[in-house]
Amino acid sequence: MHGATALLTLALTALCMVPGLLLMRGVTARPGQLAAAATASLAAMLLVAALVGQIAVWLGLGPVPAWIIAPIAVAMSAPAAWLRRGYGFSPFHREWQGLVFAALMVGFSFLSLALGMERTSDGGLLAHSWYNADWFKHMGHVHGLADYG
């Protein structure tokens, strides 16, 4: 079950990155720039999905399912492909450091999934979350000091 969930999450993540990568067609870019475009695209698709979900709640339609992000990404890919029509993808040289980093991040995601999700005896799914909430507070203090001294 965990493997199928992880693969589905990976597929949805890749689908959400497509619009940003399509907008990079015809641009000579390094792998890091392509990764930045893909990451920005993923963030944009998540924000659009959150906006659609909020509008649905405001209209009284109730919450939207999580898979709503897939048609949003497909819908956003169409104008991106149209804007960059006639351009091909520029060849780039793969950098071994980027490939190693990508492999480490994929391994970390599978490790996080294995450590963070647990099937309970009654058939439920227990999600362990861990993060340092103080990090957000410290970022706010640093931002405040930077802006106001």
**17-41 pLDDT tens trace:** 989 888 888 777 777 788 888 889 9
Query: What pLDDT is attached to residue 74?
Result: 92
Q: Which residues, 6+ apart, have CB-to-CB distance to 19 below 8 Å?
A: 41, 44, 45, 73, 76, 77, 80
What is the rounded average pLDDT for all residues in the chain?
79
What element of type H or E holds 127? strand 125-127
Query: Helix, strand, coil % (nearest 5) of the chain?
Result: 70, 5, 25
pLDDT at 135 over 70: no
pLDDT at 89: 64
pLDDT digits (tens, 9 = 90+) for 82-133: 887 777 666 656 667 667 877 888 888 777 777 777 778 887 777 766 665 5
Which pLDDT score is estimated for 71?
92
* pLDDT for the residue numbered 32: 75
Residue 21 CA: distances (Å) to CA of 15, 57, 74, 79, 92: 10, 31, 13, 12, 13
pLDDT surpassing 60 at residue 2: no
Q: Worst-scoring range by mean pLDDT, 68-77, 79-88, 139-148? A: 139-148
Question: What are 47-63's pLDDT values in tens digits?
Answer: 999 999 999 999 999 88
Grouping H, G, I as helix, E, B as strand and the rest as coil, residue 117 is: strand
Tell me how far apart the alpha carbons of residues 48 and 7 are, in angstroms, rounded to a whole number: 23
Whole-angstrom distance, CA of residue 77 vs CA of residue 114: 32
Residue 72 has what pLDDT? 92
Whole-number Å distance between alpha carbons of 67 and 8: 10
